[in-house]
Amino acid sequence: MPEEVFELTYAGIKELQHELDERKTVTSIEIAERLKEARSLGDLSENSEYDDAKEAQAKNEMRIAEIENILKKARLIEEDKISKDEVTLGSLVEIEDVERGEVQEYMLVSEKEEDIFKNKISSGSPVGAAILGHKEGETVGVRTPAGIINYKILRISRPEAYQG
């Protein structure tokens, strides 16, 4: 069985490395301080502050392990693999909802890098899957619970991290 590989953009790898550093230093120290304070309050059997801090510690350690695993298996999406002619992983894509005239710009990324609040959509999402492999000027239909939404691909480019 082939080993799992996570294709990530340059920015995605940098963000994960930053989060890992932050969790190993700042977050771990803050949690250790919370545990120390909670222990000083006495009886740990009914100490909700201690329980909360232990839970935060476990979640932090799980996320650290997850990030380390992702980075260990990460493969950088090379600049020359990001097409300016067709939508690929790593592409910046400007699309227009044909019916509403609303324009959005998204970066198409893998599921490990998806962050809708930063306009990063996964190639496995309905919109991401629909636009993948298409070219500027093409219109694609995306099936939603409310029906099919048609998007026109207005522009395809590379993220700034790849532009020299």
Per-residue pLDDT band at 5 (split at 50, 70, 90): confident
Residue 55 tokens, joined? 């839970």
Residue 75 tokens, joined? 């493969």
Q: How far apart are CA 26 and CA 16, in angstroms?
A: 15
DSSP assignment of the chain: -PPP-EEE-HHHHHHHHHHHHHIIIIIHHHHHHHHHHHHHTS-STT-HHHHHHHHHHHHHHHHHHHHHHHHHTEEE--GGGS-SSB--TT-EEEEEETTT--EEEEEEE-TTT-BGGGTEEETTSHHHHHHTT-BTT-EEEEEETTEEEEEEEEEEE--GGG--
pLDDT at 164: 40
pLDDT single digits (tens) 72-119: 999 999 888 888 899 999 999 999 999 999 999 999 999 999 999 999
- The values of phi and psi at residue 163, to 5°, are -90, 130
Of residues 60 and 41, more confidence is placed in 60
103 in Cβ contact with 153 (< 8 Å): no
Integer CA distances (angstroms), 112 to 67, 108, 144, in order: 10, 12, 23
pLDDT single digits (tens) 134-153: 999 999 999 988 899 999 99
